Structures are given as structure tokens and as C-alpha cells.
Amino acid sequence: MPQPRDRERHRSGRENAPTDRKKRPSGEREQENEQKDDRSSEKSKSSRETTDSNQSYQECMEKRVEELSQQLQEERAASRREKLTVARLQREVARNKSEGPMREKLMKDLDLERSRREETEQKLRDVTADNEQCKTRLQSLQNDMQHMEEQVQGMVQLKQKMDQLKRERGHLIDAYEVA
């Protein structure tokens, strides 16, 4: 039940007016505000550092994928050149069937070119597989980073709600102390 003093305040329209509340010196309020600003800037700095680290790793992975793609293109071009060389040598072999020693030399060259082509094709397959693994890893890292950013945003929202509830609780405590 409201006390007589509260009824008078309610009737006079001064219900929310501070009566017995002690005012804090402005220096204390400024110091608290500076501390809050420092804490929030530290949190945002930490969040930025994490994001910067993830972005630099992501950039590194993207650069590696580009390098592997370039290497893949180079290997394909080399394979194409070697196939053309093999075809040319096969034509020469066909032309020079009658010449025995020349034929043996050309056959050796042909075998050498064939083995080089097989090595190049194997390298091409290896680089292609490595490139695919890097792309998959990059996609996985991007998904992880997005998930982490969502979690950080959720934590920031929860922190803001907690701060708001603390302020409201402080106001309620002050109001009860006044009453």
C-alpha cells in the first residue's frame, strides 16, 4: 500500500521526481562512461582482429587457388605441345620407315616424348586434384567464418541485452531505495 508521502507525490504529478537520491559527482560519471567506451572499443578491436586474421587466411587460400589454376593451365599447354610433338614425330616415323637407323632414333624420340607426356598428364591430374582440395577447403573456411561471425553477432546482442537488464535492475533498486 502506498505511503502518504507517495500519495502526495502521485497527486501532485511529481511521482518520478528524485527526492532522497544522492547525486554522483560528474567526474565519477565521466570516468564510468570512459571505462565503458574503453571496454566496447576493446571488444570491437578484438572482433576486428579475428575478422582480419580470417580474411588474410582466406586471401592466402584464394591466392593459392589462383596459383594452382595458373599451374594447371601451364601444364595443359605443355601437354598440348607435347601431343603435337608426338604427332609430328609419328608422321616423321611414317615417312622414314625405310631408313632403319633413322627409324630407331625416331622411335626412341617417340618413346621419350610419350613418357614425358605421361609424366605431364600425371602432374596435371595431381595439380587438378590439389586445386579441387584447395577450393573445397576454401569453401569450408568461408562457411566456418560466416558461422563464427553469426555467433559473434549473437553474443554482442546478448551482451547488449544483459547491459540493458543491469541498467534496468539498477534503476529499480534505486526506485525501491527511494520509496
Return phi, psi of residue 99, to 5°.
-90, 110
User: Could you report the per-residue pLDDT of 67-115, keeping only the tens digit for each?
Assistant: 999 999 999 999 999 999 989 988 887 776 666 777 788 889 999 999 9
**Minimal CA–CA distance to 6: which of 175, 170, 173, 172?**
175
**Mean pLDDT in the chain?**
81
pTM here is 0.35
* Helix-helix angle 26-95:100-178, to 10 degrees: 170
